[in-house]
Amino acid sequence: MLRYLPLLLVLALWIYAFVDCLNTPEEEVRHLPKIAWVIIILLFGEVLVGPVAWLITGRARQAAAGGTRPAERGRGAATRWVAPDDNPEFLKSLGPSREDAADDADRSPKESRDTDDTKGD
């Protein structure tokens, strides 16, 4: 079973590069037309030349969010991620019905019966 592992890894890389090439928009493909990259990947996939060439040079890779180097990623970030329950804008978007339901859930059943009795008077 272990002797098939290299074959499976080559096949997985071949399929990944082929699908990645097909899904890449034409304007993001570098150095050659997209159809040329597809042919290179298919012809030279068994020896890993085609898929590796595609992954290294064929597609323009996007820089990491916030900077190109790890030291720059934390600098100058416009906004910081906030959990939805800590985000006032998100809580406002839920509307008053959600807040009332949360208040009702916080009260015990006895308290809600007491307030319901006083409302009827």
Q: Are 58 and 21 in contact (CB under 8 A)?
A: yes
Average pLDDT over every residue of 12-34: 90
What is the residue extent of each domain of the chain? 2-58, 87-121
0.75 exceeded by pTM: no
With cut-offs at 50, 70 and 90, classify the pLDDT of residue 63: low
pLDDT at 118 over 80: no
Give the per-residue pLDDT at 16: 92
Give exposure, 48-72, as e/b (b: 16+ Cβ within 10 Å).
eebbbbbbeebbeeeeeeeeeeeee
Closest Cα partner for 24 from 64, 58, 49?
Answer: 58
